[in-house]
């Protein structure tokens, strides 16, 4: 009984901090979902784009740049990183996963070059989280409001975009590239733009994280991809992925639920080093579920991925 009470008490006390963190990391999940689901382009760039955004933002803040422009420059850097991954895949016909691994490996050096050292404190610099009216800066509430507002804005913009004529064309590239091309859609442009957009979201997440935690670190992206995937799987299990609305809501719902779950596991006494193993096994189980179901009932619609 004591154990349960302790666990619950420490979990509840962590809820606001975890919520703030998960709303910031929802952007990475978005950056994983867009290539994976909208473009059928399993992409690993986010593992490098997330710290890239953080490093760029950190350096700019240390140099005295205001927080909003720093995020925008980080966003642009992430966009370029995503574009590079897509270009490597399209031009040299390298598997999307390998293109992503190449990109994130190279980005590690780039990130080190940008910062000049492995970590950088920007504590005390002004951040976007200082600007929330009526709330004291630095507390989780201001982070929840600010990250939530930016997330809502991104969600609404993407929801509109993917229902426009251009956005429908981008989704067609993911659904059937050959058909999309025959319908006059420039597959290169849509893929590069789409993966670039995803990189921008991952980098924005890194930039917000740096502003939230007060320091940038080249290793801050370690394992972010598998966490993001786990969050995406949970989100899709909860809200589904049958429509654009549901598919876009999944990263946000998933991020919030997943990080609370992690927080609960830690509060319950799970050793932090085991976390990645547990997350990995969870993602594996979610990905394996369809094929386990298939061995019983009829085969479901095939999921097609590019080479």
- Chain positions contacting another protein, by CB under 8 A: 160-161, 163-169, 171-172, 174-176, 178-187, 301, 304
First to last CA, the chain: 53
Please, are residues 169 and 9 in contact by the beta-carbon 8 Å criterion? no
Nearer to another protein, 186 or 291 (CB): 186
* Nearest approach, Cβ of residue 242 and another protein (Å): 8
The neighbour count for residue 275, using CB atoms within 10 Å, is 15
Nearer to another protein, 8 or 189 (CB): 189
Burial of residue 299 (CB within 10 Å: 0-12, 13-18, 19+) is exposed
Nearer to another protein, 40 or 45 (CB): 40
* Nearest approach, Cβ of residue 87 and another protein (Å): 16
Pull the structure tokens for residue 214: 């007060």
* Nearest approach, Cβ of residue 199 and another protein (Å): 21
The Cα angle at residue 232 between residues 227 and 238, in degrees rounded to 5:
130
Rounded to whole angstroms, the Cα distance separating 216 from 120 reads 5
Nearer to another protein, 138 or 300 (CB): 300
* Nearest approach, Cβ of residue 38 and another protein (Å): 10
Nearer to another protein, 121 or 243 (CB): 243
* Nearest approach, Cβ of residue 180 and another protein (Å): 7
Burial of residue 141 (CB within 10 Å: 0-12, 13-18, 19+) is middle
Nearest alpha carbon to residue 115 among 46, 218, 220: 218
């Amino acid at each position: 009984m004591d154990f349960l009470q302790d666990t619950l008490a420490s979990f509840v006390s962590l809820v606001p901090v975890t919520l703030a963190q998960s709303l910031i990391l929802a952007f990475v999940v978005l950056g994983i979902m867009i290539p994976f689901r909208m473009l059928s382009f399993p992409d690993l760039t986010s593992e490098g784009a997330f710290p890239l955004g953080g490093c760029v933002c950190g350096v700019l803040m240390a140099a005295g740049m205001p927080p909003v422009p720093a995020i925008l420059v980080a966003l642009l850097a992430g966009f370029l990183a995503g574009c590079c991954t897509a270009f490597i895949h399209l031009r040299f016909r390298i598997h999307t996963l390998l293109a992503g691994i190449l990109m994130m490996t190279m980005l590690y050096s780039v990130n080190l070059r940008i910062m000049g050292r492995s970590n950088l404190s920007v504590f005390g610099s002004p951040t976007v989280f200082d600007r929330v009216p009526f709330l004291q800066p630095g507390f989780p509430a201001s982070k929840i409001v600010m990250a939530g507002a930016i997330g809502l804005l991104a969600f609404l913009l993407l929801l509109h975009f993917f229902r426009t004529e251009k956005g429908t064309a981008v989704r067609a590239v993911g659904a059937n590239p050959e058909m999309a091309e025959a319908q006059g859609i420039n597959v290169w442009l849509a893929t590069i733009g789409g993966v670039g957009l995803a990189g921008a979201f991952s980098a924005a997440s890194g930039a917000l994280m740096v502003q939230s935690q007060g320091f940038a670190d080249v290793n801050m992206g370690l394992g972010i991809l598998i966490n993001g995937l786990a969050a995406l799987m949970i989100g899709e299990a909860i809200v589904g992925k049958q429509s654009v609305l549901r598919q876009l809501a999944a990263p946000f719902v998933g991020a919030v639920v997943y990080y609370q779950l992690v927080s609960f596991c830690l509060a319950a006494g799970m050793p932090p080093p085991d976390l990645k193993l547990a997350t990995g096994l969870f993602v594996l189980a979610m990905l394996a579920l369809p094929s386990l179901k298939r061995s019983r009932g009829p085969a479901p619609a095939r999921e097609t991925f590019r080479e």
